[in-house]
Structure 1
Amino acid sequence: MPDVTVWLIGAYAVFLLAVAWGIDLLGKRSAERSASWRTGNFVYHSDNDAWKCHEDKWLWPASFDPDKRVIRYVGQHEICGRCPVKDACSPTPGPRELTRQLDPWPFSEAGRFQRGIALAVAVVAVALPAGALVGSHGPLDAVVLGTVIAVVLGAGVWPLARHLWRSPANFPEHLQREGMAETAAGHAAVVPLDAVGRLGRAGGVPDTARAAPALTDRYATRWASDRRRLPGED
C-alpha cells in the first residue's frame, strides 16, 4: 500500500487543481459581467454579425482594432440622430458604438494576469507530487504520484498555459483596421446637432456648410464595410 503521506500529497495536488480552475472561472465570469454592463440592452446576433438595440435598430461592423483585437459596431447617423432616447443611449454626438472581443477569454491584460495566477497554482500542484516522487522509493508510491502529476498536467497546466503563448491570427480582413487614436480623432470631428443649430442662429452656417463635405467623406471611408443591408432591413 502507498504511504499515507503520498495520498495526502495527491489529494492536496487535486485540491490545488480545483482552486486553479476556480480562479480562472471567477475571472471569466467577472469579464462577462463587465461586458454585459457595457452592452446594456443590446443583443448580439451572430447570424448577421450585428447588434440590435432596444429600438430594434442595427449596429453594423465598421472597423477592427488590431491592438485591442476588438470589432467596432456603429449605428447609422440618420437613425441615431432621430432616436428619442439618443441622449440616454449614446454619450457622444455621433451614433452609438459597441465593441466585441474577437478572441475568447482571457482577451485582455487583466484576463491574462488572472490566468497566470491560476497557472501558477496549477504548477505548484505539479511541483508537490514531483518533489515527493524524487524522494519516494516504493513502486506503489511512484504509481500514485505519477498518476497525480499526469492528471494535473493534462487537466490543469496544459489547458491554462496554451492560450498564453498562442498568437491570434484570425484578423477579419473585410473590415477596416482602426486604432484607438484614429477613433478618438474621428469623435473629435463630429459636430453636435444642437451646436449646428446654434451656429446657424449666430451666422456660422457657412463654416458648417464647408465642413459638411469633409465630414461626409470621412464617415464614408471610415465606417465603410463590405456588408450590405438586405431589402426590408432597417
Structure 2
Amino acid sequence: MTVSAAVWLAAAYGTFLLLVAFALDLIARRACGRTPDRRPGPFTYHAGHDAWLCPEDQWLRPYSFDPGTRVMRYRALPAVCNGCPVKQTCTTSDTGREMARSVDPWPASQAERLHRGIACTVALLGVLWPLATALGTRTAAERVVLAGTALLLAAASRPLWSHLHRAPADFPGDFSAEPGDRGRG
C-alpha cells in the first residue's frame, strides 16, 4: 500500500506547527525573564524600604515613576557608584546604577500566559491537522500514518500544556474587570 504525498505533507505540516508552538513558548519564557524586576542580578529589592540594595550594601532609592507603564525607577547616588570598586562590572553610567520595578507584576505574568496559550493553540492545530486530513477518503495505511502522527504530536506537545499550567496568574486581589470597579475587590 502506498501513502499519498498529501498525507505526508499533512504529517509534516502538523510537525511544523508543533515546532512553531515550541518557538512561541520559548519566546514567552524569554519575554517573562526580561521584565525589569525579574532579573535584578545580585540586587535585592526590599519592599519595606521601597528600595534596592546592591551587593556593596548601597541603596538605590526611587527617583521617578511612569504612570503610563506603572514602572518605578530607582537610582543610586552618582558619587556612591562612581567611587565603587566594582563599578566596571555593574554599570557604565556616571549618573548611578538604575533599576526598575513594575508596580503591578500581573501584566507580565498575563503576557506570559497569553503567549503560552497561543503556543498551546498552535500545538493543538498541529495535532488536529493530520486528524482532519484523515477524514477525507483515505486508505487504511494513510489513516494509520495520520493517526500515529497526531498521537505523537499530542504526546510531544505535553510540555507546552505543562508550561501553561505552571505560568503564574498574578492578578492583584483588588483587580476587577468591570470599569469603575477597581479597588472594590
TM value normalised by structure 2: 0.54
* Structure 1 position 10, deviation (Å): 0.4
Residue 159 (1) aligns with residue 153 (2): no
Q: Give me the whole-angstrom Cα distance separating, in 2, the residues matched to 1:140 and 1:160.
A: 30
- Is the contact made by 1:136 and 1:142 (CA closer than 8 Å) also made in structure 2? no
Residue 11 (1) aligns with residue 12 (2): yes
The amino acid that maps onto 1:147 is: G
The amino acid that maps onto 2:115 is: Q
Q: Give me the whole-angstrom Cα distance separating, in 1, the residues matched to 2:141 and 2:56.
A: 67
Superposed CA offset, 1:68-119 (max 9, x none): xxxxxxxxxxxx9xx945x94688xxxxx99xx9xxxxx8111000001111
Within a 5 Å distance, the mapping from 1:98-177 to structure 2 comes to 108-156=109-157, 158-165=158-165
The amino acid that maps onto 2:17 is: L
Residues 136 and 35 (structure 1), Cα distance of their counterparts in 2 relative to 1, 3 Å cut: farther
Within a 5 Å distance, the mapping from 1:1-234 to structure 2 comes to 1-35=2-36, 39-42=40-43, 53-55=54-56, 84-85=80-81, 88=96, 108-156=109-157, 158-165=158-165
The amino acid that maps onto 1:116 is: G
* Structure 1 position 20, deviation (Å): 0.6
* Structure 1 position 164, deviation (Å): 3.9
User: Which one has a larger percent helix, Structure 1 or Structure 2?
Assistant: 1
Quick check: which has more Rg, 1 or 2? Answer: 1
Q: Give me the whole-angstrom Cα distance separating, in 2, the residues matched to 1:90 and 1:180.
A: 29
- Gap regions ≥5 residues in structure 1: 44-50, 58-79, 92-96, 102-106, 169-178, 182-234
Q: Give me the whole-angstrom Cα distance separating, in 2, the residues matched to 1:122 and 1:167.
A: 17
* Structure 1 position 40, deviation (Å): 4.9
**Secondary structure at 1:115's aligned position in 2?**
helix
Q: Give me the whole-angstrom Cα distance separating, in 2, the residues matched to 1:35 and 1:150.
A: 40
The amino acid that maps onto 1:23 is: L
* Structure 1 position 166, deviation (Å): 6.3
RMSD: 4.1
Q: Give me the whole-angstrom Cα distance separating, in 2, the residues matched to 1:29 and 1:167.
A: 13
* Count of paired positions: 131
Residues 37 and 165 (structure 1), Cα distance of their counterparts in 2 relative to 1, 3 Å cut: closer
Q: Give me the whole-angstrom Cα distance separating, in 2, the residues matched to 1:38 and 1:162.
A: 23
TM value normalised by structure 1: 0.44
